[in-house]
Amino acid sequence: MLRASSRLVTVTQAHLRPTTTTRLLSASTRRAMYPDVVPYKTGNLKIPDSIHTLYYELSGNPDGSPVVFLHGGPGGGCVYDSGHQDASFFNPKKYNIILHDQRGSGKSTPTASLEENTTWDLVKDIERLREHLGIQKWHVFGGSWGSTLSLAYAQSHPDRVRSLILRGIFTLRKRFLISSTPDEAPTNRSTYSELDFFYQNGTSHLFPEAWDEYISIIPEPERHDMLTAYHAQLNAVDDETRITAAKAWTKWEMATSRLYVDPEYLARADGDDFANAFARIENHYFVNDGFMRDGQLLEPQEIDKIRHIPCIVVQGRYDVVCPATTAYQLKKAWPEITLHIVPDAGHSTREKGIEELLIKATDQFADLEM
């Protein structure tokens, strides 16, 4: 039986059997974000034979352990704002911190472009950036879509990854078994879709007021398939339709990402440029199933490629964007990882318990021999 904790559940190999263990995260062990840093280098990496140019920046210790931060979305871009920097998850004295905006995101150009924009384009970009910077091996940190991309990159280039620190696991599975008994007919088995849960038939029951706003711009006959309906509006010819849809799409995710909605966080959805890139690129990937085989990232032969890599996963118990079932499925497929489930957190990296554990993870891996 699982013993309840107000702060932290650490899922171990024992959790895959009847017995479980629990650890407390005491006040004395909590970590604050590291202070804002000023990058020592910024640059723009032109992708050969492509329309895309990637913005990147380096901060911290040039001689420290390299770590690459992979942002969410896709389309979210990195956060460089004072007091909210993505670089602040890392000790600047020990890490050489690399941030970059993925294709069409943030400061990369062209903004919101869907052309030549797939998961495998992004994986190639990460490797191209590593080579450009002359880095042999690096730590990889990613949450939400960033966890998807981290797994895809690590499985493509396992010899270049020293460790993985992941949050809010997301694998875009369309349909998979979550419970069954040996004598149960396949048609009666309980199945689950990661995308349907958030965009169609799951989170809507927990945030009905936000859901009403999200569906309000979609004609009622089209609401049975919100991804497809939004795809049409996000790619409309006229700017007004496209931007209205982009803001509604973005607001839905911002309104559901935290246990307690932060008005400042929600206000990000009002920015035309951010919402346009975030919504169009996310939707583009999701209607194309992430450009992956269904369940690819959890396939045994793919997990075997990265089984040797140290990995810490931090997951909010009440994450309704990327529910904990996927992190648990990753733990079952890859028992060697450490999985922390934070019982009083939702999806966002900035949920207090999640933030603290991510920093503890980066501290733990900072001194690994490269």
Kindly list the catalytic residues: 144, 319, 347
**Of 157, 170, 86, 95, which Cα lies nearest the Cα of 125?**
157
Contact 138, 161 (CB under 8 A): yes
Q: Which long-range contacts (CB under 8 A, 24 or more apart) does 169-172 make?
A: 169/313, 169/315, 169/322, 169/326, 169/327, 169/330, 170/144, 170/145, 170/194, 170/322, 170/326, 171/295, 171/296, 171/297, 171/298, 171/326, 171/330, 172/148, 172/285, 172/286, 172/289, 172/290, 172/292, 172/294
Taking the chain, what is the end-to-end CA distance rounded to the nearest angstrom? 39
Both structure tokens of 144 = 């939400």
Contact 258, 266 (CB under 8 A): no
Strands of the chain, DSSP E? 9-11, 41-46, 53-60, 65-70, 95-100, 138-143, 161-167, 176-179, 190-192, 311-316, 338-342
Q: What is the DSSP letter of 218?
A: S
Find the Cα–Cα–Cα–Cα dihedral 255, 256, 259, 260, rounded to 10°. Answer: 10
Dihedral sign (CA 101, 107, 108, 113)? positive
Contact 60, 87 (CB under 8 A): yes
Q: What is the DSSP letter of 45?
A: E
Bridge partner list, 43 = 56
Distance of CA 303 to the CA centre of its chain: 18
